[in-house]
Structure 1
Amino acid sequence: MPGTSCKNCPLRKRSMFLPFTEEELAFMETFKTGELKVDPRTTILLEGSNSPQLYTVLDGMGTRYTTLENGKRQVINFLFPGDFAGLQAGIMGEMKHSVEASTHMTLCVFRRDDLWEVFRRYPERAYDLTWIGAVEEHFLGETIASLGQRDATQRIAWALVRIYERLKAAGLEKDGFVPLPFRQQDLADALGLSLVHTNKTLKALRDIGLAQWSEGQLELLKVEDLASLAMIDLERPQARPLM
């Protein structure tokens, strides 16, 4: 099934995403081959695989992770609506991490072989892919700084602020809440913490009135204080490309 037309894409209505030209929109209609709907815990891309497809998250959320030789999992980051997945296999020949659905997800599907047509015909779109890669690199750098220089409370404060900012910019905030359907174990795996330590720290942040995460909803009660605790500045929402 072709699914949602690019012209009627609900993500394009959100202010955080840069607009398409009419020519780019017409190309995206041909670039997109359909939509994939998956259930929670479905593996979308597998580490070591050579997927022929690329994806944009239309709806739902997921995780990027890598598996170590001892079987432990390291969550790299989370996937939100508008995020692009599979570029790594398109450039490097195979995935260096896996992608799993955390919720029911709908993904726009693109042919990987057509990626080079983007570079040939639409250099602005190719630049957008470079921008996406650069932003992911920046985020990973910030993650490494958190793992190396922030204590457990600061790490969790940093993660909650950055996630909240991203989801709010995507128009998913309602009455002060954003959806956060991940498990505490996912957050622990992303931040290099034990589940017990993560649970205790989240409870402590709730008890002092800074943040509350329960039943798949996140509320930051004092976002500026939480950002100060995390030793970060609140960032102004930045318009980003949508593939």
Structure 2
Amino acid sequence: MSTTQPPRVLITGGAAGIGAAIVERSRCDGYTPVIIDRAGDGIRADLSDPDDTARALSEALADGPITRVVNNVGAVFPGSAEDQTLKDLELAWSLNLRTAVQVTQALLPGMKETGFGRIVNMSSRAALGKELRSAYAATKAGLLGLTRVWALELGQYGITANAVGPGPIATDLFNGANPADSPLTRDIIDSVPVHRMGTPDDVAHTVAHLLDERTGFVTGQTHYVCGGLTVGKAHV
């Protein structure tokens, strides 16, 4: 009888929303999800705190290397250009961007030793520009830069790095940052060419493709899961 263990995939912010959908899809695809979040049944940690992040990573790697990672954790900090506080900017940088760097750096030695790795960074369509999103858009755009650099640096080791940019997805995070009675929210939804909001499962499906060992010739790319929004009103 084989004693081979299912491959593990580390998912930050996997307790709810898009992260939870990625966790469930990963299980269906035969992976063992390793979740780091401030809530839920996985490894509990405040990922906005570098020290707590390091502790959680040490716990996650105690059972050996993890060669797949979804840097999913993130938060929106709404504010106009005049009103975006430096405190929110620093928190957005730490949670949305620094965490991805710290997590990936912790996993890279194992990926290199194995000669295989899949890195998926959760960006956002807002990286292309959106009102009241200075901190959020800047940090999510930063993930696109990291993705491209990592693709160039790590390809020789069998490691791919790609980004996913969700558009309007029906999650508590979206609903909290985009009030249903706001004209801006209605305008976003009405602009989607497929005439519906996305679902967390829509995003999880794209992530699953990028985590697959057969997707070794796709790297440095940003996959927008937006119902066509990036080629419509909010085009690139």
User: TM-score higher than 0.5 here?
Assistant: no
Report the TM-score, using the length of structure 2 for normalisation.
Answer: 0.33
Which of these two proteins has the greater Rg computed from alpha carbons?
Answer: 1
Structure with bigger strand share is 1
